[in-house]
Amino acid sequence: MVVLITGISSGFGLETARLLSQEGHIVYGTVRREVEPIPGVHYLRVDVRDREAVKSTVQQVFDKEGRIDVLVNNAGMGIGGPVEFATEEEIREQMDTNFMGLVHFVTAVLPVMRNQGAGKIIALSSIGGVMGLPFQGFYSASKFAIEGYCEALRLEIQQFGIQVVVVRPGDFSTSFTASRKKTVNTKAMQAYKTYAESIGKVEHDETSGLKPQVLARKISQIIRKKHPHLGYVVASFEQRLSVLLKRTLPARWFGKILGSYYKL
């Protein structure tokens, strides 16, 4: 299969590109900077926030291969801090990268998949896309946006034989933790005295989380499945349980549980 993956410079994207290439797929992956190349993977330099550059990149793949079977929307970033103190620039970067970047690629790939009468779109959301994570509010907002977009998209394009699968990772040990942008605003630290402890807990949970190869194997399985589920939670037992509780408990009860976990 011809697979296009966004954001393969590290973490999920890197390991997914490596595994799928080893399995014999034709893999194209996007990066924004020079990286150590994976043998057999075709690299594409593009910023997912640039709509026209994305269209050109997708056209490159189609011109070379004549089809695109799978799109894995992985590119993303995170901003930590009280939502009150997030700057306009930070909010736009968060939403433009995580949400609009995905929209740009889906919009560019859809004509190809419609014409070939088949395709699979895999969107990486997060458990933060089904529950609002404190001090990661705009990250959660970007993932909630992906959830709603994919739900509508799935209904619109099922008539063309195109599948949409949402993958919701929990805590994973990747470079995402180190690259997260965090507010160092003194006023924010003084006003929200629990912020430092909460974000420290987040980082501890992530660095001791699952390895990205686990998610890569799940994406490989989804690609091979003729009829995959609409969504998957890839996380520890406790985090999978939290998603279940979010769906079943009254909102106030779940809010108390989540707040207690983050010592709020």
* Cα Rg of the chain (Å, integer): 18
CA–CA distance, 235 with 128 (Å, rounded to integer): 12
**pTM higher than 0.75, yes or no?**
yes
CA–CA distance, 31 with 38 (Å, rounded to integer): 12
Residue from 21, 28, 120, 125 carrying the catalytic annotation: 125
pLDDT digit string, tens, across residues 114-143: 999 999 999 999 999 999 999 999 999 999
Give the pLDDT score at 124.
98
Q: How many independent structural domains does the chain possess?
A: 1
pLDDT digit string, tens, across residues 2-38: 999 999 999 999 999 999 999 999 999 999 988 989 9
Choose between 208 and 104: higher pLDDT. Answer: 104
Average pLDDT of every residue of the chain = 93
Residue from 21, 120, 143, 242 carrying the catalytic annotation: 143
| Of the candidates 126, 96, 112, the residue with the CA atom closest to the CA atom of residue 157 | 112
Residue from 9, 126, 142, 242 carrying the catalytic annotation: 9
pLDDT category at 244 given cuts 50, 70, 90 is very high
Share of the chain above pLDDT 90, in %: 80
Question: What's the CATH code of the domain at 21?
Answer: 3.40.50.720
Give the pLDDT score at 179.
74
pLDDT category at 188 given cuts 50, 70, 90 is confident
Give the pLDDT score at 161.
97
Active site residue 181: no
pLDDT category at 206 given cuts 50, 70, 90 is confident
pLDDT category at 196 given cuts 50, 70, 90 is confident
Active site residue 226: no
Provide the residue range defining the domain that includes 224. 2-261
Residue from 21, 28, 139, 149 carrying the catalytic annotation: 139
Give the pLDDT score at 264.
86
Give the pLDDT score at 177.
66
pLDDT digit string, tens, across residues 36-91: 899 999 999 999 999 999 999 999 999 999 999 999 999 999 988 899 999 999 99
Q: Which two tokens stand for residue 56?
A: 């050109």
Q: How far is CA 170 from the centre of its chain?
A: 11
Give the pLDDT score at 199.
73
pLDDT category at 183 given cuts 50, 70, 90 is confident
Give the pLDDT score at 194.
80
Q: How far, in Å, are 17, 31, 43, 173 from residue 57 at the CA level? A: 17, 11, 10, 30
pLDDT category at 181 given cuts 50, 70, 90 is confident
Give the pLDDT score at 93.
95
Q: How far is CA 233 from the centre of its chain?
A: 12
pLDDT category at 191 given cuts 50, 70, 90 is confident
CA–CA distance, 3 with 134 (Å, rounded to integer): 35
pLDDT category at 159 given cuts 50, 70, 90 is very high
